[in-house]
Structure 1
Amino acid sequence: MNNNYDLILLTSKYFNELYNWQIAETHFDYYTCRPVNLANSYNEYTNKLKKSMQCKKTYILINQDIFNIPLGKISLFNYNPRNHSAEFGYYMPEPNRNKGLGSIMLKLFIAKAFKDTTLNLNKLYATTSSNNLASINLLKKFNFRLDGQMREHYWIGENKYNQLIFSILKKEAKL
């Protein structure tokens, strides 16, 4: 299923494509409970991206036959070496949704994160909105368990949704 795909660390080579994703996306507020502070220019975007790369590992999904086109991105952040845990978030641009690429990306990411001896992770966790059924289904597909929820944590327009917190332990992952 994922023979032609790989996750590679984000480099400046791919900044332009990721910036184009930001321009094209009309519903960022659906994908994060964090404040949405979109960059107003390419330079502002790349500066924010470079700064964020200092505190999180961001990978992009590529087709090994077409290296110059990223298909999605996934970032590891909130790394806690004491508790051997880290949070992650992912994004798939609209043209690449509903094609199985999220499954490929998450499968590769789980293996990469848990096999990284420098991180020495025991747990990965992610949050999503209770209305984001695609994300919920993706996490459940890979045996993530619902740990809890924060009530009315996502405000999308006038609607309020719970934030769901999912995690997987290394021993539960199919590596």
Structure 2
Amino acid sequence: MDKQAVLFHSLEGEKIFFKELRVEGAEEIHHYASDQEVSRFIGWNLMRTLEETSQFVELMLKRESAGTHLYASIVEKSTQVIIGTAIIFNFDQEANQAEIGYVLHKQHWGKGYGTEIVTLMSDFAFYSLNLHKLHAIVVHANIGSARILEKNGYKLEGRLKDHYFIEDKYYDALLFGKITNM
């Protein structure tokens, strides 16, 4: 595993910390990956069985080994339970930028965890990976995620009309970006 992945897996905040994604954590990940409300707007298919979740974790680990993605399990400090997944992906070496993504168990929505996750990922990307820009794409109905990005200084840069078709309904994609202030 490369140095950057090791650093990403060791990020720590006030209420949460990141750790290496592992197949052994699939059962905890399945608690939110199998929740219709959680998976609805994140770009993952709903995981119906623990086996599906385990296979998806294996796919994520292959992507990380290939160097195309960085993944971390998000752990709540007070319980030591995995409550989400953080992702940095779609690296563009020439433009020196990447995309971020995150998913959080719905029991932990609205408690400041998402804001802390994005802060940790942004600081890591700008100061450890020396990226120039980060972006995130959010389904417009995912108001909580848009708010998290705005709290972290991300600016709405664009809107793609009817970009997503989810549950027989069209949704716009909101494009958020943040440029380093280094």
Instruction: Place the TM-score, normalised by the shorter chain, in its bin.
Output: 0.7 to 0.9
Write the distance in 1 (CA, Å) between the matches of 2:58 and 2:48: 9
Deviation per CA, 1:86-120: give whole Å up to 9, x if none: 0111101111111111111111111112121xx32
Aligned residues: 165
- Residue 50 (structure 1) aligned with residue 61 (structure 2): yes
Write the distance in 1 (CA, Å) between the matches of 2:70 and 2:179: 19
CA contact (8 A) 1:17 1:70 kept: yes
Equivalent of 1:100, from 102, 105, 112? 112
RMSD: 2.2
Identity of matched residues, %: 21
Counterpart secondary structure, 1:171: coil
Write the distance in 2 (CA, Å) between the matches of 1:160 and 1:49: 28
Q: CA deviation at 1:145?
A: 0.8
Aligned residue identity for 1:50:
L
Q: Look up the match of 2:130.
A: 120
Q: CA deviation at 1:134?
A: 0.5
Distance 1:65 1:158, change over 3 A: closer
Write the distance in 2 (CA, Å) between the matches of 1:76 and 1:125: 10
5+ residue gaps, structure 2, are 1-12
Write the distance in 2 (CA, Å) between the matches of 1:13 and 1:45: 12
Write the distance in 1 (CA, Å) between the matches of 2:76 and 2:19: 10
Q: Look up the match of 2:73.
A: 60
Q: CA deviation at 1:170?
A: 0.9
Structure scoring higher RCO (CA < 8 A, sep ≥ 6) equals 1
TM-score w.r.t. the length of structure 1 is 0.82
TM-score w.r.t. the length of structure 2 is 0.79
